[in-house]
């Protein structure tokens, strides 16, 4: 979508487009309500600080549909396609890494009560696994902050792929 299209889109359509980046209502609404943007850079700058910080309830709601790292998102939605693309480095044929991710995901969910979230794009499977293991050592309050930061990184990455000058 070109920036001009985003600026001109109806409120509902613009919100729906942003929800594929991050399903955080307050973030989406702030970005839509502050239109028009003079440049993509202005939109990205606003996206980097809108709804900052994400509240725990917003993060939990956004993660409700998020696939686990190492699991392929199913379906034909844009969000499922983005997730598959972002996790492309996690090879389903690598049984050892898959097992370690499955075990790490389970341990993470037991410890923190949510799915492990990381910006997987541009990271190798061993890097993702190392981050998962390291974050299992985090204090719950620190981890909550890290998850919010990761959600924003994913949102910004997806927004960059969605809106073109």
The 10s digit of each residue's pLDDT in 85-128 is 555 556 665 788 889 999 999 999 999 999 999 998 888 888 99
pTM, 2 dp: 0.85
Residue 120: its pLDDT value, please?
A: 87
CB atoms closer than 10 angstroms to residue 21: 24
Name residues whose C-beta falls within 8 Å of residue 156's C-beta, 6 or more positions apart in sequence: 21, 44, 47, 48
> Under a CB-based contact definition with an 8 Å cutoff, are residues 118 and 70 in contact?
no
- Does the domain made of 3-162 have the CATH classification 1.20.1250.20? no
Beta strands in the chain (DSSP E): none
Residue 106: its pLDDT value, please?
A: 96
Domain boundaries, the chain: 3-162
SS3 164: strand
pLDDT average, residue stretch 49-78: 80
């Amino acid at each position: 979508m070109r920036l001009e299209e985003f600026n001109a889109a109806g409120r509902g359509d613009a919100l729906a487009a942003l929800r594929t980046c991050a399903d955080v209502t307050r973030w989406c609404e702030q970005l839509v309500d502050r239109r028009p943007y003079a440049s993509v850079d202005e939109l990205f700058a606003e996206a980097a600080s809108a709804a900052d910080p994400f509240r725990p309830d917003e993060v939990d709601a956004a993660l409700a549909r998020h696939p686990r790292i190492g699991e392929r998102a199913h379906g034909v939605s844009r969000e499922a396609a983005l997730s598959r693309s972002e996790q492309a480095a996690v090879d389903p044929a690598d049984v050892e890494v898959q097992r370690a991710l499955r075990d790490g995901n389970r341990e993470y969910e037991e410890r923190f009560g949510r799915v492990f979230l990381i910006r997987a794009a541009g990271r190798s499977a061993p890097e993702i696994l190392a981050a998962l293991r390291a974050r299992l050592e985090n204090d719950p309050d620190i981890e909550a902050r890290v998850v919010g930061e990761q959600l924003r990184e994913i949102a910004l990455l997806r927004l960059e792929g969605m809106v073109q000058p």
